[in-house]
Amino acid sequence: MDLQLTGRVAVVTGASKGIGLAVVRTLLAEGARVVAASRKSSAELDALAGANLVHVPVDLMDPEAPGRVVERAVEEFGGLDVLVNNAGGPPPGVSLPRFGFLTPTDDDWREMFEFNLFSAVRAIRAAIPVMLGRGGGAIVNVSSVLARQPAPMNVDYNAAKAGMNTLTKVLSEEYGPQGIRVNTVSPGPVLTAWWTEEGGAADIIAGQAGTDRESVLRNVAPEMMNLTIGRLVDPQEIADMVALLASPRSAGTTGAEFAVDGGFLKAV
């Protein structure tokens, strides 16, 4: 299926690895021109280098950074059609999961909201005038199923993602009549660096469960989360949904949330 993304301009945040890298790779394969934003590049992102890809090294904890990324898209490619707010998860220097409501401090809450919600708010604020000038566009916010099924861990992260879901609904109502579609993709547990890095989620859970990282990734986490497919989700499976929602082929879809979670959510 032709997603009709050839020549369209996209910004992807958190683009150097994991879900963001998969989104960049997928949009490029569909013919889009992509501005990839992350604190630093990666060998995998560098391997995609070409005329249709620009990397902008920014720290999205900086309130001015999202606006600079959108400005770069206009400078390099003349506008903006697609914004993918993918940056999220543990803020720089933070390891998750954290257990219990009393664990995160005020500073932890502020950092979590800065990275997982406010960076997206600022990117959208910068993107909307540019999109309106081109007659519309598509915004895809990467949230989490934990926004809808929270647990007594990562309480600050869960709350930030719940805010993103609400933001998506509000924006879709305000800007849908003007041609800007806004949707959410909510991943479940995805096989990314958040899980696999040393000191990451797999190591933390392994310490709690008295096992090792590989056992957590292969068996413990899927069983603990009751994943229907019996494994963590692959980043490409998230990227495919993001690309579809970014596409004009999804012109009738706005204000919607799509869980790509391996069957984590069980509620109707």
Q: What is the pLDDT of residue 178?
A: 97
What are the domain boundaries of the chain?
Answer: 9-188+234-258, 193-232
Digit-coded pLDDT (tens) for 171-182: 999 999 999 999
* The architecture CATH gives domain 9-188+234-258: 3-Layer(aba) Sandwich (3.40)
Q: What is the pLDDT of residue 195?
A: 85
What pTM was computed for the model? Answer: 0.94
Task: Report the mean per-residue pLDDT for the chain.
Answer: 95
Label residue 159 exposed, middle or buried (CB < 10 Å: 0-12, 13-18, 19+): middle
* From 157, 175, 195, 264, active-site residue: 157
Give the count of beta carbons closer than 10 Å to the beta carbon of residue 266. 8
Q: What is the pLDDT of residue 201?
A: 83
Q: Is pLDDT at 50 greater than 90 in this prediction?
A: yes
Residue that has been written with the tokens 């719940």 in this structure: 162
Q: What is the pLDDT of residue 208?
A: 85
Q: Is pLDDT at 213 greater than 90 in this prediction?
A: no
Residue 157 a catalytic site member: yes
Digit-coded pLDDT (tens) for 157-172: 999 999 999 999 999 9
Nearest residue to 53 (alpha-carbon basis) of 68, 34, 71: 34
Distances (CA, A) of 14 to 2, 55, 84: 26, 11, 9
Residues 6+ apart with CB under 8 A from 24: 12, 15, 34, 36, 45, 48, 53
Q: Where do the H-state alpha helices sit in the chain?
A: 18-29, 43-46, 65-77, 106-113, 119-133, 155-175, 193-196, 201-209, 213-215, 221-224, 235-246
**What is the rounded CA–CA span in Å between residue 77 and residue 259?**
32
Digit-coded pLDDT (tens) for 77-117: 999 999 999 999 999 988 888 999 999 999 999 999 999 99
Digit-coded pLDDT (tens) for 217-251: 899 889 988 999 999 999 999 999 999 999 999 99
